[in-house]
Structure 1
Amino acid sequence: MAGSSAKPKRSISLPTRLHPNSQKIEAQLNKLKTNWEYSSFSSRETPLGSENIQSGLSDLAELYNSTKELIHSPLTQQALLQHHSRQMVEETLDMSIGLLDACGATRDLLLRMKERVHTLQSALRRKAMGDSSIEIDVQSYINFRKNAKKEVSKSLRALKTMQISNVQAFHALDVVDHPLKMVTTLLRELSAIAVSIFRSLFVFLSVPAATMSKASSGWSLLSKLFVPTSFAALEREHKIFNEVGSVDISLWSLQGQLRKNNINNGAQIDVGLVKRRLKSLDCCIEGLEAGLDYFFRCLIQHRVFLLNLLTP
């Protein structure tokens, strides 16, 4: 999974006296930590599939719900009120703002991608392959992907800053009480896992540019598509592993064919394959949107609960 390594995984042991579901919460956390180790932002691991990310978002949302139950317990609230833990809660709230921003940026990006996918699907259904307006629609999608790559880079930088702040805030805390320290650790690790999942989601959306070597990076790949070649060969060469990258390769190929006017001279593109890949990406986007919506609702509830905790 994301950023997995040979490093031994740390685990926390939540006292059952904090809440009857402490062991369940601990199991949920350790499962997420196993699948979403806090990866370095300089790593270039293979992007995860959409199903992995959807599952991660769902599991994370469930853990946020369970954590809310834990913090809501009288013993935990009493500990939070009796110790100098306001800073910890405030740091968690600050992290939640950053996560909400990441969630909003991703939802907006997915919405715009879905709109352009639908435009392409409609164009391929209604227009003949020789219609020049198809090339306009394809170019519009490619331009969108170029701009999206810049947005993703900006979001990844913001996540890296959040990751560093989360670690620094945790080390700055001086919590002696063991049960409270466990809760503090849980909140920090929740934020760290969320950052890791969103990082994987942004990397997923930046494919294939994020997986290309410098020698073949950027959009110079188009020059290779002016000669007939197979999708599979291009995908193998550039390590395309997900729905986003497959559509990019398909559209680059389609644009190359259209520009060379090769549609009817033995190098015809497999339009059916392009349509299937667009449909697959559309389904992928819907799944990610559902996962993000669920996580967004749980994060809002988590934030409201923490705010109420600070309000007398």
Structure 2
Amino acid sequence: MGKDAKEMVVAGFRRSLSFSTSSPRRPPPQEKSHHIRSISLPCNSHPLISQLKDKINVLRSWESEAITTRPSSASLCAVLNHLKNLHDCLDDLLDLPQTQDSLRRRSDWVEKLLEDFLRFVDVYGIFQASLVALKEEQLTVQVAIRRRDESKMSSYVKALKKMDKEMRKLTSTVRCIGKSSSSALTFVSNGDAELAAILRDVNEVTVMVSVALFHGMSSSSSSAKSWMVGWRLSKRYQKMKEEKGIREFEEAGVQSLSCLRKKGNDEMRMALGKLQTLEDCIGRIESGSERVFRSLINTRVSLLNILTQ
């Protein structure tokens, strides 16, 4: 009986011992699984995430200021440079293995982003071609002024009219970018929410800057065109004139190009000087938009590599 009782005590002790040692082993698996979830996406303290948020905030601040002021070529070039840096930073984020793993789990969403960036690349390609054509017309109109040849001014009027039409189309197109990919955000897991939010915000500010750029060019060319052909200010044009075009376009004195034969030498030199300023303005915008164009291509290539590798 004594031996049996001892065995019962030992058995009871063993059962209690096995139970007590099993409970401390539970936390390690939980800590491990939590750690795995945290590296699926760079955390809030990751430098690239912080940099992207700062750059996005800078662009949004510019939007708030642009609403109340007429943009200049300098401000547009500055914001294009900020946009280029934003996409360069995004490209660095897309190179991170954890970012690539997160996006590979949502290939359907990446495909929508690829469509968005293809449209961004397309509109900036068209914009570049439009600026090249406008610069050529700028040279033509300067020659016409020197020769006081008003008959050749019609080609410049046609160029401005074409520019206005193309810019309005680009503005309409770019405003639709991002809507399809944003709808997919509701299906993204909580672990990927930060990455989804960053990509959504990058899309939004890219659309915002692009609309401001194309709309500014459209409003500017509309204003210059109306002066060139000597139209009377209709109600429709009065409304258009209130739209904010690029400052240099409206300060270039394009209206002084009419009645060239009646202009004095000083007036002609002043008109040529302002057109040269406008040409420089167009060149700076062309350079800034080209850098954005290349950054958009790089970002799209990075997204494409994530799906194909």
Per the shorter chain, which TM-score range?
A: 0.7 to 0.9
For 1:288-303, what aligned pairs fall within 5 Å after superposition? Answer: 288-303=285-300
Displacement of 1:16: 4.1
Tell me which amino acid in the other structure corresponds to 2:82: D
1:138 and 1:56 map into 2 onto residues whose CA distance is 33
Residue deviations 1:181-236 (CA, integer Å, cap 9, x gap): 11112112212211111111112212346679xxxx956971569xxxxxxxxxx9
Tell me which amino acid in the other structure corresponds to 1:176: S
In structure 1, what is the equivalent of residue 257 of structure 2? 254
Report if the CA contact (8 A) 1:92-1:188 is conserved: no
1:211 and 1:120 map into 2 onto residues whose CA distance is 17
1:48 and 1:36 map into 2 onto residues whose CA distance is 10
1:121 and 1:103 map into 2 onto residues whose CA distance is 27
Report if the CA contact (8 A) 2:218-2:245 is conserved: no
In structure 2, what is the equivalent of residue 15 of structure 1? 43
For 1:6-85, what aligned pairs fall within 5 Å after superposition? Answer: 15-16=43-44, 19-36=46-63, 47-81=70-104, 83=105, 85=106
For 1:160-175, what aligned pairs fall within 5 Å after superposition? Answer: 160-162=175-177, 166-173=178-185, 174-175=187-188
2:201 and 2:244 map into 1 onto residues whose CA distance is 31
In structure 1, what is the equivalent of residue 156 of structure 2? 141
Tell me which amino acid in the other structure corresponds to 1:27: D
2:218 and 2:228 map into 1 onto residues whose CA distance is 16
In structure 2, what is the equivalent of residue 156 of structure 1? 171
Q: Cα 1:187–1:123, aligned 2, differ >3 Å: closer, same or farther?
A: same
TM-score if structure 1 supplies the norm length? Answer: 0.73
Q: Cα 1:46–1:148, aligned 2, differ >3 Å: closer, same or farther?
A: farther
Question: How many residue pairs were aligned?
Answer: 260
Residue deviations 1:25-76 (CA, integer Å, cap 9, x gap): 2211221222236x9xxxx976521112111111111111111211221222
1:55 and 1:238 map into 2 onto residues whose CA distance is 21
1:182 aligns with 2:194: yes
Displacement of 1:157: 1.7
1:95 and 1:238 map into 2 onto residues whose CA distance is 28
Tell me which amino acid in the other structure corresponds to 2:98: L
Q: Which runs of 5+ in 2 are unaligned?
A: 1-41, 234-240
Report if the CA contact (8 A) 2:215-2:245 is conserved: no
2:242 and 2:59 map into 1 onto residues whose CA distance is 32
Whichever structure has more helix as a proportion of its residues is 2
Secondary structure (helix, strand or coil) at the match of 2:250 reads: helix
In structure 2, what is the equivalent of residue 230 of structure 1? none
Q: Which runs of 5+ in 1 are unaligned?
A: 1-13, 226-235
In structure 2, what is the equivalent of residue 99 of structure 1? 120
Tell me which amino acid in the other structure corresponds to 2:297: I
For 1:220-235, what aligned pairs fall within 5 Å after superposition? Answer: 222-223=230-231
Structure index of larger Rg: 2
Displacement of 1:146: 1.4
Report if the CA contact (8 A) 1:64-1:299 is conserved: yes
Report if the CA contact (8 A) 1:207-1:245 is conserved: no
1:252 and 1:269 map into 2 onto residues whose CA distance is 16
Q: Cα 1:207–1:290, aligned 2, differ >3 Å: closer, same or farther?
A: same
Report if the CA contact (8 A) 1:204-1:242 is conserved: no
Displacement of 1:112: 0.9
Report if the CA contact (8 A) 1:88-1:184 is conserved: no
Tell me which amino acid in the other structure corresponds to 2:73: S
Displacement of 1:87: 2.0
2:175 and 2:52 map into 1 onto residues whose CA distance is 26
Give the aligned CA root-mean-square deviation in angstroms.
Answer: 3.2
In structure 2, what is the equivalent of residue 304 of structure 1? 301
Displacement of 1:241: 5.6
Secondary structure (helix, strand or coil) at the match of 2:110 reads: helix
